[in-house]
Each structure stands twice: as C-alpha cells, then as structure tokens.
A and B are shown apart, each in its own frame.
Chain A
C-alpha cells in the first residue's frame, strides 16, 4: 500500500502549484475584496487542462483520475479556494453528464466544458426541507415533446456565470424527492431567472444565487439519466463533490498552519519567539495533525472513486471528520496569530471566512452519520 502520490499525480500537483503561485497568489486579496468572478483565471485553468481534468481524452479532457483532481483542488485552495469552488461545481456537473448522459449529450456538452467554453453548475438544493418538497420545489411537468419546469433552486454555485445547469426536478410533487429527475438545461433557456448574488462569508469570487424557473420548456432530450432516479444520481454527485470539498478544507488549513508557524517563529514575546511556547505548539500540532489525517482520508476516498469502487462510506467519513474539525483549523491558527489573526491586512481572517464554506451540511438528510452507521457490520 503506497501512501505517496504517483509521479504523474505529483507532476500534476506541481503544475497546479506553479499555476497558483503565478496566477492566484497575486489576486487572492483583490478577488476576496471585490467578489468579482475571475473570468481570466477560469480561462487560464482551461488552457492548462484543469477544467477538463476528469473528462476522457475523447471529449478533450485530460483523462486524469480523481486523486490528481483532489490534489489540484487542494493546491489551488491553498491560494484562492473560491477558484477551486468554481472548478469543483463545474467538474461535478460534467461528471454527472459523463456518467449518466447519452452519447449525444456527452458529445454536445463535454468538449465545450473541457475547454472551459461552457461553465457547468449543479442545481440540487432548494429552500425547503428537501429537494422536491415544499411550495417552491422545482417541478417538471410532462408535456408534448418534453417537460415544463416551474419552481426555484437555491444556493446554486456558479449561478449567472454558468452556461449549462445540471438540475434536479421532481416529476411528481406528491412523491417529492422520490421522483427527482435530472436534466441538462442551458442557461440561456427562456424562463430561467438567476437571482441576486448572495452575500457569502467567504469564498468570494464564486457566485452563489437562487434561480427561479418560470415555465421553462425543455425537450425530452434534456432528460439526464433514468426518469425518477435523480435522488440516487444527486446523492452520488454530492458524495463525489464532497471529497473535493474536503481537499479544499485541507488546502486552506495547510496554508493557514504554515503561515501561523512562520508567524510564531518570528513573533517575539516574553523574550522568545512564541513558537517556543508549548501552548502555541499544541495549537499548531493539532491543526497539522488534523490536516494530515484528513488528507490521508480524502486520498483514500479519491482513490476509490478513481478505481470505480464503492466510496460513499469513506466520503461520508471524511465529511463527518471535517464537519467537526474543519473550521477549528482556522479558529486555532488565528489564535496563534493573536491580533494579527484578526486583522484583514493579514491572510488568516480571509482563510477563516473561506474554510467555513467548505464543510457545510446542506441538505439535512446529508448527515453523513447515517451512511457511516449503516456500513458498520
């Protein structure tokens, strides 16, 4: 059993590192300040094949595996995690098309998504208790030649910038989530109204908004995967996405603990660098340990995804782990930097705001504990 990345995975990580150093580090403060969508960066990512990392070569992708993907997400997140969010929501939308789409759908969308010409977005969540339930649930009503969509989707990342949505609507409001069905819908379809960008605590630069669907007509060919099988598809897609989100958490945490350690080595109080104080060492050590453990855990899940083996339990475990310990990484590293860890003139406050957005429990039914408990023999 080898815990090391392969040569290729390391080289891919190296490319990501160089990309982050050259293109992300110089703009991280500015993007956080303005929240402006970094269009040029997204194009740069596409040029280096990052936007199609997981897609097969036949569709113009790099054909790399999920472990490489997680490594890239972690690396980019050390510099500008909002970009990793954009990339992840796009890549998982493409993943859904790749795994459940017809050949026509794959040919129609994937090459453009790989080239970064078409940005993808996943629209799953709603404001109600679960997708498919409630007065504003997105409903797909069958009609001649296709469906009409009515309702609202919430917290859609990449909303407004995406060219294509992979969305989940219920074909039967009485059945709710049990009749959830996936569709591929182009963003410029009539009746789609992207709401105002929501104000987020961090990860600014990755737009989040609610979307209203008013009598949106889609053809039969927009159906993605088997009808009424959307919940299973959404669950799998979210599980895959969550492993990359874990990589985001670890990337931010790693950058923070390195920054805090460097700070502590030069901050002299009581005649010595505070790094020499046991209390400071404890804070740093716990964060470094949690990062390391999480990285091993997520790499394990990533490898299972790459090898097409069952991975949902491992993904749930790493999610559960980071829901408990993710934000703590920045609570503790900010503590090490004291007042400097609270001033926005330093990077840690921004990282604090960013990391909180990487381990959110969105749909309550997501509580990973249920999946994990069920797996215990």
Chain B
C-alpha cells in the first residue's frame, strides 16, 4: 500500500504560443495552462499503482499564482489531495530552485514511499528536477523510467538509455522520473472531473519552508527567449541536367559547411 507523491508543473500550452514575426518574441497572452505532458504520465502511473495495490496518491506543485488553476485538473486524474506552493519566484525558477522548494515542502509533508515526476517539463525540459530533488532528500533516483512495478517496498524499473535498456531494482523510498512511454493517461470521466471539486487541496506557504531569498533565485539569469522560425532559402536550381543541378546543390551545401 504505497504512499505516493507526484510532483507536477503547471505550464503554458505551447500550441497557443505565437511567435511575433517582428522580433521573434513569444506572445503567450492567449495561451492556456496545462499539466506538463510527462507529469501526466507520472500522475497516471501513481494512480495505476495505487488502484492495483491500495495506498494513496498526493500531488504537489510549485508555481506562480496560476498554479491554483491546476488543482481541479490534477485531482480529476487520480490523486486524493493536492498541495501547492504559489510564489512569484516560480516565474524565473530553475531546476535548483524548484528542487529546493519541493524538497522543503516534502520534508513538511512527511514520508512517501514513492515520489514520481515527469522526466522533464514541457517548457524547459531540463531533466534536472528529479535528480536534484532526490539528492536534497537523500534518496535514490531512477530516471528515464519507461516501465515500473512495485512489490512491497521494492521498486523494479526499466530505464531507457541511449544505447540500451537498464533493469534496476531499488528499495524505497525513491524518487522516480518517468518517460511518456510508460503509459497512456486515461481520459478523466465526467464524474472524476466533477468529483475533483470535493477533494481537498492545501496551500503550503513559501514563507513556512525556511528558504533564504538566495535559494529562490536562479544562479544563471535568462537574458531572452526567442521563438525559432525555420527560414526557407527558396533557391531553385534550373540547370539543364539533373547532374548539373546536383553539382550546384552540393556546392551550395559545401559553402555553408554542411557537407
């Protein structure tokens, strides 16, 4: 009967973000929020485990004031209770800051057998939060998990690495970050959506976490965020033969250092 905690991020839906053609800056004014994609897999995995073996799933998120918009969403997907930390520092937080906040919150909440995260967030995809969190909590960390099972206090997982798959076993408590291959999140039924309103949520005030202002500031400052637009060169080779066209193309690619 594992006690699970899922850490999730409330991000902007990237398909609503427009790139301004004048300066390539991002216009997110019409972007809606969503639970970060891989975090959805983490929530689903925890829910599946608990459905099979009993136990409970809590959810925890650190974000700006918009994090409150995530509560009904996350509670409609399986967790029994949602905890949240809302602070402006989340706007510029990097993985180190996020991990510090989450670790401090988790120390207040108590013992969990399994702490699950998505492998990376939809917006930044740093892939650092879970390992940093594990280090701060003094727990083992399993990343790139594409399959897992829980037996008693033991977790068996398959990690998908670049060149191979690694099968690992670890005794909990443990921090796990999951890949999207691990499951296909089910669509919340209407009763689950409407039932979310009846589930509890609780704010954890950042002031109560005992962190210094420096711990809430990223060490690397972000200078700018620009959209990437593929520019087409629109060059057509109209030589008399295919061989000549190929030669011209090759020359053009070579002059750009591409071959």
Binding site for B on A (CB under 8 A): 7-8, 11-12, 14-15, 18-19, 22, 47-50, 53, 57, 62-64, 68
Contact indicator A48/B69 (Cβ below 8 Å): no
CB distance A8 to B189 under 8 Å? no
**Taking the complex as formed, is B197 at the interface, i.e. its CB lies under 8 A from any CB of chain A?**
yes
What are 29 residue pairs bridging A and B, where the CB atoms are less than 8 Å apart in the complex?
A7-B69, A7-B72, A7-B73, A8-B72, A8-B193, A8-B194, A8-B196, A11-B73, A11-B76, A11-B188, A11-B193, A11-B196, A12-B193, A15-B187, A15-B190, A47-B189, A48-B187, A48-B189, A48-B190, A49-B189, A49-B190, A50-B190, A53-B190, A57-B191, A62-B189, A62-B190, A63-B194, A64-B194, A68-B190
A22 cross-chain contacts in B, Cβ below 8 A: 187
Q: Mark B165-204, 1 if CB is under 8 A from A, else 0.
A: 0000000000000000000000111110110110000000
Contact of A62 among B72, B191, B197 (CB under 8 A): B191
How many whole Å from B183's CB to the nearest CB in chain A?
14
A11 in contact with B187 given A63-B194, A64-B194 (CB within 8 Å): no
A272 to chain B, nearest CB (A): 12
B197:A8 contact, CB within 8 angstroms: yes
Chain B residues contacting A57 (CB-CB under 8 Å) are 191
CA of A53 to CA of B189, assembled, Å: 10
Chain B contacts for A48, CB-based, 8 A:
187, 189-190
A25 to chain B, nearest CB (A): 14
Interface secondary structure of A, over-half rule: helix
Knowing A7-B69, A8-B197, A11-B196 are in contact, say whether A49-B76 is a contact too (CB < 8 A): no
Q: Name the residue of chain B whose CB is nearest to the CB of A65.
A: B194
Q: Could you tell me the distance between the alpha carbons of A48 and B72 in the complex, rounded to whole angstroms?
A: 17
Given A22-B187, A48-B187, A64-B190, 11 other A-B contacts at CB below 8 A?
A7-B73, A8-B196, A8-B197, A11-B72, A11-B73, A11-B188, A12-B190, A15-B190, A18-B187, A57-B191, A68-B190
Residue of B nearest to A50 (CB): B190
CB <8 Å contact, A15 and B194: no
Q: Which of A8, A11, A49: most chain B Cβ within 10 A?
A: A11
Once the chains are docked, how many angstroms separate the CA of A176 from the CA of B189?
Answer: 44
Across-interface contacts of A14 in B (CB, < 8 A) = 73
Give the residues in chain A near B73, CB-CB below 8 Å.
7, 11, 14
Taken together as a complex, chains A and B put the C-alpha atoms of A15 and B193 apart, in Å, by: 9
A-side contacts of B194, CB under 8 Å = 8, 12, 62-64
Which residues of B have CB within 8 Å of A53?
Answer: 190
**A8 to B73 CA separation, bound complex (whole angstroms):** 8
Q: State the Cβ distance, A258 to closest chain B Cβ, in Å.
A: 12
Give chain B nearest CB distance to A314 CB in angstroms.
25
* Alpha-carbon separation in the docked complex, A63 to B188 (Å): 15
With both beta carbons as reference points, the residue of chain A lying nearest to B34 in the complex is identified as A14
Chain B residue at minimum C-beta to C-beta distance from A7:
B72
Q: How far is the CB of A333 from chain B (nearest CB, A)?
A: 21
Give the complex CA separation of A107 and B193 in angstroms: 25
CA distance A68 to B191 in the complex (A): 12
Residues in B with CB closer than 8 Å to A18 are 187
| Contact across chains for A15 and B69 when beta carbons are under 8 A apart | no
- Tell me, in angstroms, the Cα distance from A48 to B190 when the chains sit together: 6
Within the complex, the shortest CB–CB distance from A283 to chain B, in Å, comes to 22
B193: A residues at CB distance < 8 A: 8, 11-12, 15
Which of chain B's residues 10-48 have a Cβ closer than 8 Å to chain A?
A: none
